[in-house]
């Protein structure tokens, strides 16, 4: 669910050697360390949020984001909260959101799906989880009011793949609601049309559970190739099957491992599997990893 963006609180910026400006790549056994770092950052963020000011925002639009209704898309109006809107400056940033009157539920961490610069409001993608704020969010209607915390995180460090010659290949991996910050990144722009190879591997069970299909044409017009990967596709599906890392490993086609960037956004298990799958092949990558619970 989009609330899983809680762990976006520490995006990992890993740049292996030998590029002279790179820092050493953590060892394969460092994933438990990354989890511990994640947990510490969550606690720090929660403490900070306790003293934060909550900003009320009316729901401006609401509706299913997938054919089966398993994901919900909604936007909030920030015309009366321009300071909050202006504080969102980088794709990959997130915030806490709560529903008034539901004090017994923990606020949900939500990645912002719309790109920075939209002064009118924020957009979100959420999957219901029983007994959580996400479930309440999936029951919203136009005109309902939610409360937003402060913008958190630094977002994706796009400067690390700029100018485009620094990363002629950029690989994007997303599953489920992990497409939210990826959508923000794509629509904000990172000069995809000036790069040789930009791919989005986007995983879902089937087309009925895949959000933002109506945006694929526009996304591809910016210079990237969208590769849907379905784990439970029916017999009519002619595209990639299985999991996003499987589709990538089958294709590979990395022209220069020293000029490659990767962004992973999705379930923790997918991200970890991708990390283990990509390390032996992309030995010299600029890796931004966002792990979601």
Q: With 80 as the cut, is the pLDDT of residue 121 above it?
A: yes
Mean pLDDT lowest among 71-85, 119-133, 199-213, 255-269: 255-269
pTM of the model: 0.80
- The residue ranking higher by pLDDT, 51 or 54, is 54
Q: Hey, what's the torsion of the CAs at 91, 96, 100, 106, to 10 degrees?
A: 140
Instruction: Dump pLDDT digits (tens) for 17-32.
Output: 233 232 222 332 334 4
Task: Count CB neighbours of 79 within 10 A.
Answer: 12
Structure-block tokens of residue 181: 């910050």
User: Can you say how many angstroms the Cα of residue 174 is from the centroid of all Cα atoms in its chain?
Assistant: 7
Helix (H, G, I), strand (E, B) or coil at 203: strand
229: buried, middle or exposed (CB in 10 Å: 19+, 13-18, 0-12)?
Answer: buried
Q: With 60 as the cut, is the pLDDT of residue 69 above it?
A: yes
Instruction: Dump pLDDT digits (tens) for 262-291.
Output: 888 876 666 666 666 666 655 445 555 554
User: Where do the structural domains in the chain lie, given as residue ranges?
Assistant: 55-152, 158-287
- Residue 47 CA to residue 85 CA, distance in Å, equals 22
What fold characterizes domain 55-152? Elongation Factor Tu (Ef-tu); domain 3 (2.40.30)
Instruction: Dump pLDDT digits (tens) for 172-217.
Output: 999 989 999 999 999 999 999 999 999 999 999 999 999 999 999 9
CATH of domain 158-287: 3.40.50.80
What pLDDT is attached to residue 270? 65
% helix / strand / coil in the chain, to the nearest 5? 35, 30, 40
């Amino acid at each position: 669910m989009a609330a899983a963006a809680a762990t976006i609180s520490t995006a990992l910026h890993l740049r292996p050697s030998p590029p002279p400006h790179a820092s050493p790549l953590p060892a394969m056994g460092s994933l438990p360390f990354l989890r511990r770092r994640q947990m510490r950052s969550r606690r720090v963020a929660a403490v900070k949020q306790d003293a934060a000011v909550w900003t009320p925002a009316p729901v401006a639009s609401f509706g299913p984001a997938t054919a089966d209704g398993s994901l919900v898309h909604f936007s909030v109006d920030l015309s009366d909260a321009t300071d909050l809107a202006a504080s969102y400056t980088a794709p990959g940033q997130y915030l806490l959101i709560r529903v008034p009157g539901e004090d017994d539920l923990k606020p949900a961490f939500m990645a912002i799906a719309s790109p920075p610069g939209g002064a009118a409001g924020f957009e979100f993608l959420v999957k219901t989880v029983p007994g959580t704020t996400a479930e309440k969010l999936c029951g919203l209607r136009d005109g309902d009011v939610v409360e937003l915390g402060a913008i958190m995180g630094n977002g994706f460090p796009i400067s690390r793949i700029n100018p485009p010659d620094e990363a002629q290949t950029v690989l994007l991996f997303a599953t489920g609601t992990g497409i939210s910050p990826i959508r923000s990144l794509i629509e904000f722009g990172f000069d995809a049309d000036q790069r040789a190879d930009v791919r989005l591997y986007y995983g879902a069970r089937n087309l009925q559970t895949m959000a933002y299909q109506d945006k694929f044409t526009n996304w591809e017009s910016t210079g990237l190739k969208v590769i849907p990967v379905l784990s439970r596709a029916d017999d009519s599906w002619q595209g990639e099957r299985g999991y996003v890392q499987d589709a990538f490993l089958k294709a590979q086609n990395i022209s220069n491992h020293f000029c490659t960037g990767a962004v992973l956004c999705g379930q923790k298990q997918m991200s970890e599997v991708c990390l283990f799958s990509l390390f032996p092949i992309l030995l010299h990558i600029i890796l931004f990893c966002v792990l979601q619970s």
